[in-house]
Amino acid sequence: MSILLIGFMGAGKSTVGRLLAEQLAKPFRDLDQLVEEMTQKTIPQLFEEGEAVFREAETKALMAALGKDQVIACGGGIILKEANQALLQAYPQVVYLKGQPDALFRRIQKDEANVRPLATEKTVAEMQEILSPRLPLYQSAASIEVETTGKAPQEIVQEIVERLEL
């Protein structure tokens, strides 16, 4: 059974996901990469066609990924679409990686490997405006919530492993 990681950008979904997959001897899958493979388009190209186009492709990728035994890092906005919310809420192993807004902001600013142009130009207050309406959606979709602020990725992985029903 797959383990899905959700949370805001900068929460550590990809970093923690790779480590968790390694520890559990499961494949790791980044949902955005799967979307690109399935559509043969980049995420920016899909967004140029409209956010709804991207979200529809994301839903199809999520449904395809759920049938496999792997660790999946979902995009930060996956919970914005009702169909995705329903899929996540019905799934037993969804981990919400929760971070404090100022910590998420610092991680995003420092992340040179995964530059997020729209996010790097925002203030903490502007990031909070994006995050606030998503919080209840992340919480309602998750079966496990793990605070990431001030923790090393391996500590987060260990907490997930201890709390999962494997």
Angle at 15 between CA 108 and CA 166, to 5 degrees: 135
Q: Per residue in 65-116, pLDDT tens?
A: 998 999 999 999 999 999 999 999 999 999 999 998 888 877 777 665 565 5
Examine the pLDDT at 36 and tell me if it is beyond 60. Answer: yes
Stated as kind and residue range, the H or E segment containing 73 is strand 71-73
* pLDDT band per the 50, 70, 90 thresholds, residue 120: low
Examine the pLDDT at 150 and tell me if it is beyond 60. Answer: yes
Higher-confidence residue of 157 and 124: namely 157
How many whole angstroms separate alpha carbon 100 and alpha carbon 82?
25
Tokens of 29: 């899958």
Write out the DSSP string of 99-112. Answer: --HHHHHHHHHH-S
| Residue in this structure with the two tokens 């199809």, named with its chain if needed | 60
Q: What is the pLDDT of residue 103?
A: 83
